[in-house]
Structure 1
């Protein structure tokens, strides 16, 4: 795309993230892992209120991360941390115990959290070209 106008703004090459943005994404990843752990404990304690509260907390973190970083990466980073923590909690240990039971609440938390992550990453604030608002035609 050559020429002036708004088309040249969208055709800019990708740059590596700044140090502050990378630190924010790592922090969001860690917050996502903590949220996954807390939600796993909460959803089992108070069914169905705990399940709804755990999913609402995850949704708030994912969507808040997207708005805080002004991009979908802010929703993907905590979602990735959440998924890693939850997957690690589902594996059995040598002692034979694990955190998630075989009940419906655990499956609703796992599948519901993944659905919430996808929804928040899709709906979250996408990249917008910088500049003031423009009117295309009268």
Structure 2
């Protein structure tokens, strides 16, 4: 386990990465469809599961997932000029639901002890 100040900095870094993954995924998922959608979802899963493994706590997956959801919601609202990042279509909906589902799965995956340890 890491020291408390180090872990707090790690959570802050995971939150920033959550915002960056949301922005990058929002741009890539529809731009290079369908490969971009797969890449965006893989980035979400990698961040959420990586946060879980890096911190050793479920909060490591919850922090970037929460920031990701907030950023995606903010990016999906239209502006007064009519600009928006997510169009109506299958790709954006799959990205939104797939990212949220991957966050849920990564946050609730059971924490198993490492295999190969001698039980004495």
TM-score, normalised to structure 2, is: 0.87
Which is higher, the Rg of structure 1 or of structure 2? Answer: 1
Q: Name the residue aligned to 1:69.
A: 55
Q: Name the residue aligned to 1:4.
A: none
Cα displacement string for residues 81-133 of structure 1 (whole angstroms, at most 9, x for unaligned residues): 1111101101111111111101111111000100010011111647x7xxx86
Q: Name the residue aligned to 2:42.
A: 56
Contact 1:89 1:98 in 2 (8 A): yes
CA distance in 2, matches of 1:110, 1:124: 24
Q: Select 2:77's aligned residue among 91, 94, 97.
A: 91
Compute the displacement of 1:51 (Å). Answer: 0.4
| DSSP 3-state at the match of 2:88 | coil
Q: Which runs of 5+ in 1 are unaligned?
A: 1-16
Change (3 A) 1:124 1:84: farther
Q: Which runs of 5+ in 2 are unaligned?
A: none
Output aligned runs, 1:127-138, within 5 Å. 134-135=119-120
CA distance in 2, matches of 1:81, 1:72: 15
Runs of 4+ in 1 over 4 A off after TM superposition: 132-135
The structure in which a higher percent of residues are helix is: 2
Contact 1:67 1:125 in 2 (8 A): no
Alignment RMSD (CA, Å): 1.8
